[in-house]
């Protein structure tokens, strides 16, 4: 009997095949050998895998933040299907997400960073001397710098509510071990914020003019600038939501729309263009539609804005999805979430292997 020799598969072929696999499968392969373990941490592979995930149907996910905790859910053509809970993060009630990484915080705990795909978790150091209710309100943001592929966390503390004085710090996730203070600004920041194209946009209140503004933080240069809002409003900032549509900043009037059509503004070449989202007549009697903070992603050349029904049901969440390109609506349900409660946030994201530790080599 002739002996046979098993030929090894070239590494470049393995590289290509594995870049098309879901993160869950890649995590299982890490224990096979040192090569597979190091592969999922190699920067070129991480970036290629993230790009491939954008075109894989199973690479597109939702991160759902309910009062009971965080859940990840798969995207299905007929709605959201299976979901799983991210354990031990149920005490955090504020959140923001970019590139599948999300930060979460409360008034008493350190900010936590989590990769929704790998479930890797990291707690950042706290600025203890400023972390008490008497000092001021504080909010965190997570941003991504596309050029250097750095993730940064921004901490904003509204020190003086009457004057709108805000102090700001930044923490580079890949390299820093402590917070670095930046320039302060004279705007009262809210928790309505979104990151896109290397800029974190924050809905804010200018106490001097009593008008709403949008603070833009450049993640790369770590500088701030102020944008005017598309409406001349002194209304509360929680009446509006910042979202991304087709790679552009948009503002959605998200409250008190139960029997009215929804107002939408999209920033086009430094000018705000006004749009109206028509609610189907039968749905106007459904009860108030609550807009959720959904980071819209261009999937299959169309983008959705997600709304949640305010009607309370046990074990079922009713959602309404509006396709901004096709100008069409669809309804879907998420079951088995336990007691019915409105979501804090819902984010769209693409699977990633981005590390929460030191910069990839």
321-352: b or e for each residue (b if 16 or more CB lie within 10 Å)? bbebeeeebeeeebeebeeeeebbbbbbbbbb
pLDDT of res. 229? 87
- The string of pLDDT tens digits covering residues 44-68 is 999 999 999 988 878 888 888 877 7
Q: Which residue has the tokens 């879901």?
A: 22
Least Cα distance to 356 among 61, 140, 142, 54 occurs for: 142
Q: Region 244-271: what's the mean pLDDT? A: 80
Average pLDDT over residues 205-216: 84
**Percent of all residues in the chain with a pLDDT value above 70, rounded to a whole number:** 74
| Residue 97 belongs to some domain of the structure | yes
Angle formed by the axes of helices 11-18 and 43-53, nearest 10°: 40
State the residue for tokens 């809210």.
190
CA dihedral 126, 167, 96, 202 (to 10 degrees): 180
Q: Distance of CA 216 to CAs 88, 133, 203, 223, 296, Å? A: 32, 26, 9, 8, 19
Whose structure tokens read 């209710």? 133
**Residue 76, strand partner residues:** 79
Does 98 map to a domain? yes
In this structure, is residue 34 part of a structural domain? no
Q: What is the CATH number of the domain that holds 190?
A: 2.120.10.30
Write out the two tokens for 63.
């991160």
Residues in a beta bridge with 173 = none
Structure tokens at 17: 């095949």
CB 29 within 8 A of CB 36: yes
Query: Would you say residue 69 lies in a domain?
Result: yes
In whole numbers, what is the pLDDT of the chain averaged over residues?
Answer: 79
Confidence grade of residue 129 (pLDDT, cut at 50, 70, 90): low
Tell me the whole-structure pTM to 2 decimals.
0.85
pLDDT of residue 107: 67
| Residue percentage of the chain with pLDDT more than 90 | 26
CA distance readout (Å), 5 to 2, 11, 104, 323, 344: 10, 18, 52, 55, 57
Picking from 75, 56, 9, the residue whose alpha carbon sits closest to that of residue 36 is 9
CA distance 55 to 197: 19
Confirm whether 140 is domain-assigned.
yes
306, 104, 356, 200: CA torsion to nearest 10: 60
Query: Given a cut of 50, is residue 301 above it in pLDDT?
Result: no
303 touches 296 (CB < 8 A):
yes
Q: Which two tokens stand for residue 319?
A: 């959602």
* Tokens read off for 327: 């100008």
Answer whether residue 14 is part of any domain. no
Residue 96: domain span: 41-350
Residue 257 lies in a domain: yes
The answer to whether residue 235 is domain-embedded is yes
DSSP β-bridge partners for residue 197: none
* Long-range CB contact pairs, 207-213, < 8 A, 24+: 207/161, 207/162, 207/163, 207/164, 208/164, 210/234, 212/237, 212/240, 213/187
Q: How many domains does the chain have?
A: 1
End-to-end Cα separation, the chain, in angstroms: 47
């Amino acid at each position: 009997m002739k002996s046979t020799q098993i030929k090894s598969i070239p590494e470049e072929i393995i590289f290509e095949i594995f870049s098309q696999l879901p993160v869950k499968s890649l995590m299982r392969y890490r224990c096979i050998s040192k090569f597979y373990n190091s592969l999922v941490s190699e920067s070129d592979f991480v970036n290629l895998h993230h790009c491939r995930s954008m075109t894989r149907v199973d690479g597109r996910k939702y991160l759902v933040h309910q009062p009971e905790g965080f859940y990840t859910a798969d995207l299905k053509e007929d709605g959201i299907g299976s979901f799983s809970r991210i354990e031990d993060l149920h005490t955090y009630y504020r959140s923001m997400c970019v590139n599948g990484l999300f930060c979460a915080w409360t008034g008493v705990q350190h900010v936590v960073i989590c990769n929704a795909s790998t479930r890797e978790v990291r707690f950042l150091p706290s600025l203890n001397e400023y972390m008490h209710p008497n000092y001021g309100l504080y909010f965190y943001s997570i941003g991504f710098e596309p050029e250097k592929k750095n993730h940064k966390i921004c901490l904003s503390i509204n020190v003086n509510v009457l004057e709108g004085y805000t102090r700001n710090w930044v923490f580079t996730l890949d390299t820093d071990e402590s917070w670095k203070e930046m320039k302060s600004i004279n705007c009262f920041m809210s928790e309505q914020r979104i990151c896109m194209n290397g800029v974190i946009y924050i809905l804010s209140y200018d106490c001097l003019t009593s008008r709403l503004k949008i603070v833009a933080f450049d993640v790369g240069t770590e500088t701030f600038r102020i944008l005017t809002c598309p409406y001349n409003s002194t209304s509360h900032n929680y009446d509006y939501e910042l979202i991304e549509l087709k790679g552009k900043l948009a503002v959605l009037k998200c409250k008190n729309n139960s029997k009215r059509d929804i107002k939408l503004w999209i920033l086009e070449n430094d000018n705000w263009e006004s749009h109206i989202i028509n609610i189907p007549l039968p749905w106007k009697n459904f009860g108030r539609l609550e807009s959720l903070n959904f980071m819209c992603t261009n999937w299959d050349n169309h983008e959705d804005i997600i709304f949640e029904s305010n009607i309370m049901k046990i074990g079922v969440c009713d959602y309404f999805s509006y396709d901004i390109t096709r100008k069409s609506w669809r309804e879907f349900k998420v079951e088995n979430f336990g007691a019915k409660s409105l979501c804090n946030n819902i984010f769209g994201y693409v699977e990633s292997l981005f590390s929460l530790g030191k910069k990839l080599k």
